[in-house]
Amino acid sequence: MTPQKIEHIGIAVANLEEAIKYWENVMGLKCYNIEEVADQKVKTAFFRIGEVKIELLEATSPDSTIAKFVENKGQGVHHIAFKVDDTNQALKEAEEKGVRLIDKQARKGAENLNIGFLHPKSTLGVLTEYCQE
Ligand code: ZN
């Protein structure tokens, strides 16, 4: 399944409020949505830039994967999300090509998208998200 476009770029931040200020004041973008995704233990903030979104992610718990990412690697680009027609199908096809999956099945992400992640060990270090509207 060929992705249609980059849906968003996920960026891990230590402090969402401060990060929003940077993206608004320096980059001049407007935050249009702040949303907590409880099962992923993150709080997210979204910005639009052309057809692509920026998704800031702040951990809401020390055992969140975002907390571990920030602790180990520092703040920065966390994942790239590709828009597909069918996340489950895209995951299945990736697995058939030998890619290790983080999610075997699509789950609900921020903005009510059906999302699924490929493991960065199988994707040349780029944590890859498939998402379907
Ligand atoms: Zn994402």
The domain locations on the chain are: 5-132
Ligand 1 center–CA 107 separation, angstroms: 12
User: Is it the case that residue 28 has pLDDT exceeding 90?
Assistant: yes
- Summarize the confidence of residues 25-37 as an average pLDDT: 97
Q: Which residues contact 124 (CB under 8 A, 6 or more apart)?
A: none
Ligand 1 center–CA 64 separation, angstroms: 14
Cβ–Cβ < 8 Å for 77, 9: yes
pLDDT, tens digit (0-9, with 9 covering 90-100), for 44-90:
999 999 999 999 999 999 999 999 999 999 999 999 999 999 999 99
Ligand 1 center–CA 38 separation, angstroms: 14
Ligand 1 center–CA 129 separation, angstroms: 6
Computed over every residue of the chain, the mean pLDDT equals 97
Give the whole-angstrom CA distance, residue 35 versus residue 33: 6
Strand order, beta sheet including 114-118: 31-37, 42-49, 52-59, 5-13, 76-83, 128-132, 114-118, 107-108
User: Is it the case that residue 1 has pLDDT exceeding 90?
Assistant: no
Give the whole-angstrom CA distance, residue 84 versus residue 90: 7
User: Is it the case that residue 39 has pLDDT exceeding 90?
Assistant: no
Ligand 1 center–CA 127 separation, angstroms: 10
Q: What is the pTM of this model?
A: 0.94
Ligand 1 center–CA 8 separation, angstroms: 6
Give the whole-angstrom CA distance, residue 45 versus residue 54: 8
CATH of domain 5-132: 3.10.180.10
pLDDT, tens digit (0-9, with 9 covering 90-100), for 109-130:
988 999 999 999 999 999 999 9
Ligand 1 center–CA 126 separation, angstroms: 13
